[in-house]
Amino acid sequence: MKSLKEILYKAGLLEVIGSTEVMVDAVVFSSSEVVKKSLFVAVRGTRADGHDFILKAVSAGAAAVVCEEFPKTIRQGVTYVKVTDSALALSVIAANFFENPSAKIKLVGVTGTNGKTTSVTLLFHLFRKLGFRCGMLSTVQNQVNEEIFPATHTTPDPVKLNSLLNIMVRENCEYCFMEVSSHAIVQQRTAGLTFAGGVFTNITHDHLDYHKTFDEYIRAKKLFFDQLNEDAFALYNSDDRNGKIMVQNCKAQKKSFALKSMSDFRCKVIENSFTGLLLNIDGNEVLCRLIGSFNAYNVTGVYATAMLLHQESLEVLTAISSLGSVEGRFEYVVSGNNVMGIVDYAHTPDALQNVLNTIKDIRTGNEQVITVIGCGGDRDAAKRPMMAKIACELSDKVILTSDNPRSEDPEKIIEEMKAGVLPHHFKKALAVTDRREALKVACSFAKPGDIVLVAGKGHEKYQEIKGVKHPFDDKQVLEDSFKIFES
């Protein structure tokens, strides 16, 4: 329990009706979660405005309300606080309510289009191997030492976020590695947090359904680095042409990593095979079990982060060599008749191209590459033809199918993808709307030695159709499909 007065510190107060000495048991921003003595923060969302639910929250027992506009009805005994920005206030208040846990732990945020989940997961397992107690906040799962908490968003809401950080502090964690999404940055979910460092992986076409333009998307990512303190570090991929833009006018200590350009931390790929990568990082050779040049970037960024957190170089490289692949990220299985299946979360044009180019670099040329790809509904539609075009250019056969159609008609999504299939690729592209059937068809085409890539959903264990999440695991369905056609 906290007094309202102490948790309103730096929340941007404009006016108060009532007493700030009132005691608060919980901070909520959904009226359905209000219990007695709650503080309800009315946030303007993309689909609903919390101001419309103030009366409901008060009727449910809210002791105080934070809002940008006072409601017409002011109820006696309830404190109303007007602020400049409710979303910002929510983040600051949540941090204050949990006694600013991010300031008691070394919190590192990773942002970019691709590589966030892999980088954060590798950092978590690396530092665990180095003997530290630590936490992770990622798309796949949230974790505090051995304890796993389900993840619903890439970056949790401010209350959940600070609650998890508080658990990490209670469990004596020294580090936390978290994914920072562009949505979270713009929605100020990370405001009020103290970061020890920030990492930029890359930026490519994605989320333009939300940000509208690529420039806006870049600005969203850059805002994260603009907010870092002077005693933090800002690590960026200097091979990405927007890397330097991310850290322009950033107060943090700027450092870079790269495979091609001059940088503070350098990596060279010596060998790239389906068994892993042999890398030279800062003059030391390291064999790691991850595959592909895109993972060489992830590993280099992880190594650089560890160095900036003052770890010992050889200990870090030794630990990196024992790290395995991340669930749903270039995760492969081999069928009984020697067909290789690869499951990857690639759901952007750049990510898909990276995965297919990795396969192209490693394959002998005598085998077929069969790609199963879909695009999510209610998301950036502009990338749909691009995804199909890339799949056709870098595969021998392509099956266009459903991803998570959500509220959209899956066949309409596939038709929009088909617009990217060039005439000379018509014969190699096939549409199979049902994803399970699409995987079966791909496996029926595959001969011993062939490669089946299933892209788009990766670690997800569901398929969302018309608002309902149906159980669906690409890796499990792929393995089941392989068994049907094993001789």
Per residue in 93-105, pLDDT tens?
999 999 999 999 9
The answer to whether the CB of 433 falls within 8 A of the CB of 402 is yes
User: How many whole angstroms separate alpha carbon 163 and alpha carbon 168?
Assistant: 9
Per residue in 335-353, pLDDT tens?
999 999 999 999 989 889 9
The answer to whether the CB of 259 falls within 8 A of the CB of 293 is yes
Q: Looking at residue 207, what is its pLDDT?
A: 45
Residues of the chain with pLDDT under 50: 206-208, 211
Give a three-class secondary structure readout of the chain: CEEHHHHCCCCCEEEEECCCCCEECEEECCHHHCCCCEEEECCECCCCEHHHHHHHHHHCCCCEEEECCCCCCCCCCCEEEEECCHHHHHHHHHHHHCCCHHHHCEEEEEECCCCHHHHHHHHHHHHHHCCCCEEEECCCEEEECCEEEECCCCCCCHHHHHHHHHHHHHCCCCEEEEECCHHHHHCCCCCCCCCCEEEECCCCCCCHHHHCCHHHHHHHHHHHHHCCCCCCEEEEECCCCCHHHHHCCCCCEEEEEECCCCCCEEEEEEEEECCEEEEEECCEEEEECCCCHHHHHHHHHHHHHHHHCCCCHHHHHHHHCCCCCCCCCCEEEECCCCCEEEEECCCCHHHHHHHHHHHHHHCCCCCCEEEEECCCCCCCCCHHHHHHHHHHHHCCEEEECCCCCECCCHHHHHHHHHCCCCHHHHHHEEECCCHHHHHHHHHHHCCCCCEEEEECCCCCCEEEECCEEEECCHHHHHHHHHHHHCC
Cβ neighbours of residue 331 closer than 8 Å, sequence gap 6 or more: 325, 342, 343, 344, 458, 475
Q: Looking at residue 385, what is its pLDDT?
A: 97
- Tokens representing 25 are 């048991």
Query: Phi-psi region for residue 178, left (φ > 0), alpha (ψ -120 to 50) or beta?
Result: beta
Q: Are strands 340-344 and 13-17 parallel, antiparallel or unpaired?
A: unpaired
Residues constituting the chain: 487
- Tokens representing 483 are 């068994």
The C-alpha torsion from 328 through 334 and 339 to 341, rounded to 10°, is 0
Cβ neighbours of residue 461 closer than 8 Å, sequence gap 6 or more: 471, 472, 473
Q: Which residues of 150-180 are buried (b: 16+ CB within 10 A; e: fewer)?
A: ebeebbbbbbbbbbbbbbbbeeebbbbbbbb
Q: Looking at residue 380, what is its pLDDT?
A: 86
**Can you say how many angstroms the Cα of residue 358 is from the centroid of all Cα atoms in its chain?**
21
CB-count exposure of residue 422 (10 Å: 0-12, 13-18, 19+): exposed
Q: Looking at residue 205, what is its pLDDT?
A: 55
Cα angle: 228, vertex 10, 155; to 5 degrees: 50
User: How many whole angstroms separate alpha carbon 236 and alpha carbon 369?
Assistant: 33
CA dist list (Å): 358 to 190, 302, 376, 394: 34, 20, 23, 10
Cβ neighbours of residue 115 closer than 8 Å, sequence gap 6 or more: 201, 202, 294, 297, 298, 301
Residue 404 phi, psi (nearest 5): -110, 90
**Can you say how many angstroms the Cα of residue 133 is from the centroid of all Cα atoms in its chain?**
22
- Tokens representing 4 are 């309202």
Q: Looking at residue 28, what is its pLDDT?
A: 97
Per residue in 262-303, pLDDT tens?
999 999 999 998 889 999 999 999 999 999 989 999 999 999
**Of 49, 85, 54, nearest to 72 (Cα)?**
54
